[in-house]
Amino acid sequence: MTHPAKPTASHFINGAYVEDTSGTPIPVIYAATGEEITKVYAATPAIVEQALASAKAAQSAWAKMTGTERGRILRRAADIMRERNHDLSVLETYDTGKPLQETLVADATSGADALEYFGGLAGSLTGEHIPLGEDWVYTVREALGVCVGIGAWNYPTQIACWKGAPALACGNSMVFKPSETTPLCALKVAEILHEAGLPAGVFNVVQGMGEVGGALVTDPRVDKVSLTGSVPTGKKVYAAAAEGMKHVTMELGGKSPMIVFDDADIDNAVGGAINGNFYSSGQVCSNGTRVFVQKGIKEKFLARLAERVGNAVMGDPMDEATSFGPMVTKNQMNIVLGYIEKGKAEGARLICGGNRADQSGWFIEPTVFADVTDDMTIAREEIFGPVMSVLDFDTEEEVVARANDTEFGLSAGVFTKDFTRAHRVIGNLEAGSCFINSYNDAPVEAPFGGVKASGVGRENSKEAIKNFSQVKSVYVRMGDVEAAF
Ligand code: NDP
């Protein structure tokens, strides 16, 4: 792979690229062709130590800078990311296989939004003054210390920025471990932050598998862990963090409902279902993979859906006309194909797709099943691929109960022209990130995260500041101290 944005080594520590080829090699496979395009090396214990020591050493001076000074660096990094959006998008496509049509508008741009937004907030992270007669209390919003970020493979640039930007705005330092599947993009985030003036050691990136993540999470110097990943990994990481009484943010999986009432605008609902199932080839945690359609409009909805899904352009992700890319890995492709077979075997009606595409790389056709019932495997488990389940329903009460009958609670959407019903239904759905007549919008200004098994804490918005800082309260006595003796 020769590309201007290709990182020059495996790790980024203390303000510079660091290589250590004694770590386990991690091949980087381009999902569209199956070819190895480069490799990185997993962090050895010595590399993990260097990263943690740098983060620890850099943190207090970073926290002592004014918020405005910290914010200026983050905003400068946002500008650089936007200037280099094309190169960074190509790199994101190499890392993940997602089409350039998507990466040009959803990855470095989203990362830049986070850097700009939290850079803007950094100067106004203030406490409160609480008057108590003559005495008073003041509060200070302080950094937590050293934070660890651990990313999933679907949005490597965005996840590094969604975690790094609020952490750094609050005066923390970070060691970030990308998924071994997509190791490249977070290195560029580190490089750009340092080019923008970030002091060495404040944001570090190390590569590796779960073992490296585990070493970071259990280190006593670490004060907070923010993970984006699956529920099983989340449970392990949360438990390990609890052992050291560390703060956590857990952004985990979902099996989210999207409810379409019979008065909905069908084309908008179909558009929402497409965005909520086939963007990034379905590899999105908040996807509305259980599409509940009210019985009266079911066949009309399915016909329009099949017609529009037929317009997907599958092919070379670097061609900007391509709107549908491959699965991130061969393994993920096989997992998803296994779910498709289960859907067929358990009696769901295949509307379109249902096969591996006849071309190189890990492509699966966009797949829609209808007549899906609540007990089918494809309606219960997170698939993380382009497989939409359409279920039908009669009444509002019934659909709300069925939508909530899951261990997950990340997102939920409702399509209807009746706004009273829309707000009532959303009010009754157990989910953290919800949509009315839309699906999967994720602006940095809005809190993002799940309830139930889908997670703990929120990313983005002012909520993320609360999740990367803590409050110190100070009682100030103006008079004499009374004591019993
Ligand atoms: P995984 O849970 O497999 O891995 C997530 C990250 O955790 C990876 O970097 C992984 O390393 C690391 N890891 C694995 N085991 C441990 C451990 N014991 N200790 C510390 N770190 C560990 O998720 P995927 O990468 O497969 O991503 C897909 C999942 O992520 C889906 O379930 C999806 O729903 C969820 N997700 C959630 C989002 C959200 O915001 N709610 C957004 C995007 C995805 P490695 O991969 O190198 O083994």
Tens digit of pLDDT for each residue in 83-121? 999 999 999 999 999 999 999 999 999 999 999 999 999
237 lines ligand 1 (CB under 6 A): yes
Q: How far is CA 25 from CA 10, 47, 96, in A?
A: 10, 14, 18
152 lines ligand 1 (CB under 6 A): yes
List of residues 6+ apart from 394 with CB closer than 8 A: 294, 295
Distance between CA atoms of residues 308 and 340, nearest Å: 20
pTM (2 decimals)?
0.97
Which pLDDT score is estimated for 2? 74
Tokens read off for 301? 């909805």
Backbone phi and psi for residue 354, each to the nearest 5 degrees, phi listed first? 100, 5
Which pLDDT score is estimated for 5? 81
The residues that bridge with 142 in the sheet, in sequence order, are 470
Which pLDDT score is estimated for 353? 98
List of residues 6+ apart from 114 with CB closer than 8 A: 158, 161, 162, 164, 165, 166, 444, 460
Positions in the chain whose pLDDT score sits under 70: none
Backbone phi and psi for residue 282, each to the nearest 5 degrees, phi listed first? 80, 5
Q: How far is the CA of 146 from the centre of ligand 1 (A)?
A: 20
Q: How far is the CA of 252 from the centre of ligand 1 (A)?
A: 8
Distance between CA atoms of residues 350 and 346, nearest Å: 11
* 251 catalytically annotated: yes
Position in ligand 1 atom list of the atom nearest CA 178: 9
Q: Are 48 and 216 in contact (CB under 8 A)?
A: yes
Q: How many residues belong to the chain?
A: 485
250 lines ligand 1 (CB under 6 A): no
Provide DSSP, 11-63.
EEETTEEE--TTSPEEEEEETTTTEEEEEEEPPPHHHHHHHHHHHHHHHHHHH
Q: How far is the CA of 384 from the centre of ligand 1 (A)?
A: 12
Which pLDDT score is estimated for 1? 72
Which pLDDT score is estimated for 423? 98
203 lines ligand 1 (CB under 6 A): no
98, 163, 177, 188: the catalytic one is 163
161, 170, 185, 285: the catalytic one is 285
> What angle (nearest 5°) sits at the alpha carbon of residue 163, between those of residues 281 and 20?
90
Q: How far is the CA of 271 from the centre of ligand 1 (A)?
A: 28
Name the closest-CA residue to atom 13, ligand 1.
210
Tokens read off for 379? 């309606």
151 lines ligand 1 (CB under 6 A): yes
Position in ligand 1 atom list of the atom nearest CA 285: 34
Tokens read off for 300? 């009309």
Residue to substitute in 233, 250, 339, 406 for testing ligand 1 pocket (most ligand atoms within 8 angstroms of CB): 233
Alpha helix positions (H), 152-204: 156-169, 185-195
* 195 catalytically annotated: no
